[in-house]
Structure 1
Amino acid sequence: MDPLEDLRTVGASLWGDADIAVGPPPPGAHCQVHDEQYVAVPSAQRPRFLVSADLGPTATSRLLREYNSLRATGPRLARAGLALLAGLGWSAGTSSRRVQVHHRDLDDTGLRGFLARELGRDPHTIALACGVRVAHGIARPIVTVADRRGRPLLFVKLAGTALHQRRLRNEYEMLGALADRRLPGFHTPAPAFWRHWNGHALLAVEPLPREVEPLRPRDAGYTARALASLTTERIPHAVGDSPWLHSLRRRAGHVAPADRERVTAGIDRVVDLAGDVVLPHDVGHGDWSFWNMAHLPSSGRVALWDWEFGHPRAPRGLDELHWDYAVATTIRGVPAPRVVARQRDLHDGRGPAARTVRVLHTLDMATRLYENATLGDADAAATAHRLLDTVPG
């Protein structure tokens, strides 16, 4: 396996079809005005993070420290150490860590040039930084756009697959709607722009306030109280007429045919059994997890981001179930079917409304797994089959 494969996969999103080389440029190499240099941390062979190489030590240190408290323990400690070293004058840009990006002509400026034009800036006045994360051969970069002092100007999410583009488009529409409605007690990042570039959908959002403080699994009570106050309309809908359920049907239409039939059959069973059950609907986040939110001390509000699964009219109760599901599966490593079985035991005896919301959440999780299966996750479909086994028939 090519040790630079992940770097090249992410690089295809950031730099188009530019030539990428690791190490110092050869003697006499011609550098164009739009060529770029990055530092791969901890190394080009094991890249976890890319940052523009032409930032000074102070700016690099600042960029590494921004929002670092929100990260998981390992990345947080690593970035804090690198930020300290950078502030002391250490440069990560040794020749072995340099990534040279050579654009073949002046019209090919990569993502940095594109974003500079959107911002009305010279490309050399902004810097890009990005994590290097690839799953099943697919990169979904989240790029920090900073000024020359290391201050974030934008966060930019890129999506190359049809599935990820649909999710990102949904997030853009949700953020636009929320900017007008202003959720009480919450701060959501304002969308800056939505564009298409180099085969990717691109969503740019404004940075979060710098004062953000992290939330953890132990903060379930605090976030539940905040969620209880999240209300704009609370419109009642019978399950059979739920706009959220209609959206779930549309999502199921994009998965593999056999999986589509399974999800659709599950939805039909719920409508047959509980189509007349009336549930309050309001704004739903859809990925209600502590890693998508933070506390704002000055106002007491909750910053809330990553609205790819959001819906303007979702049944109340789905987000509470998702917190439990996400923490159990992602943090504690509990298999998803076991989590869903526990939720069934806890909620199905609490009446038709609680049972119906639980089943809807299970259908949602199964659909997400089937969606992921279309991207090469071989285990996702099998897990989704087991979740659907808990849907009443």
Structure 2
Amino acid sequence: MNVKEKLIAALREKETRMIDIRRYLHQHPELSFHETETAKYIANFYIEKGLDVEVETDVNGEHGVIVTIDSGKPGKTLAIRADFDALPIEEETELPFASENKGVMHACGHDGHTAYMLVLAETLAEMKEELHGKIKVFHQPAEETPPGGAIGMIKAGCLDGVDNVVGIHVISTAPFGKVLYCEGEMHSARSFFKLTIEGKGGHGSSPHVANDAIVAGSYFVTILQTIISRRINPFDMGVVTIGSFDGAGSFNVIKDKVTLDGDVRAMSEKARSIIDAEIKQICDGLEVTFGVKCRLEYTTDYPVVYNDPTFTRQVVDILKNTKLDGVDGIEQTVPQPPSEDFAYFAEKVPSTFIHVGGQVEDKPTYFHHHPKFDFNEKALLVCAEVMGSIVVDYLNEAK
């Protein structure tokens, strides 16, 4: 057997361990910037294998675990990344290994990313003498919550000497066995905001002596959508969503203040900058039109995930030339609306971010961030085999 065949055979023998690790992590989720025990679990896994572990802590207190696997031979350095934070969601899956932490759930698959990566890294370390160059394994915290954990790891120097980065995300709604890639823009950029509108409270029977903040807020929600329909190129992607409108009160009381929380997505920095500017301009107009005071807190965070076309084609060629039993097609997909802080890695070095189908069998499918989210655990082995194949061929072809 060649090196890749040995790796795949070893991974298949360890599939049960991947599943066991995933289920343990699923039972013990931790929120972004609070993943202390998860980081310890990851670090201890490698320490017990005799591997050198770096745990990077930045000003936000996040913990990114980095393991370098050095073949001892000259060659390129490839980084492979998995995230490990959970979400503030009360789990409703009724799985036997459901979350034991109330109000916290692995509802995006990061438990699976961590599980397959641990076993893959262990196996690559066992075979390092048959490889060339270096592998840097990034276990990244805080993907779900701005400013994201990638920034802290990059500031700590994780990309020093790295030629390329690969990331994989399991997708619950994609058919099991499908590997999906996209050249160029893969995931949208994101901004978010909080708008507080202050008017003048009063009695519902006498609106003329008050200044209704709810009316101004409602106008804002409605006119906001004209940014997408009238300011963004129809061939570009932009989305503005108001996720929260806090105007609760009594039926006969005119509210003096309301708070709105909004989400912005765009597939280009140009589109995002237009949306950002237009929202601020609308707020200025609200003050003039309704005589209210607007306090806008606006944050621009994750950029567009850009898959370097040349490197992406190299990765796709590797996969198309590899026979993997669990892979039922390698297909180009369209750009995806959700955002990902993998974008920060891709800004610094040529990178690619691919999806692996993980649709469950014999039960309803729920999208990521849903309280009933789950994925097909067979996808763990597929992720490991796909990433492992990329690593082996990338390093040994570039020796």
TM-score, length basis structure 1: 0.22
Greater RCO, 1 or 2 (C-alpha within 8 Å, sep 6+): 2
Which is greater in Rg? 2
TM-score, length basis structure 2: 0.22
Q: Which has the higher helix share?
A: 1
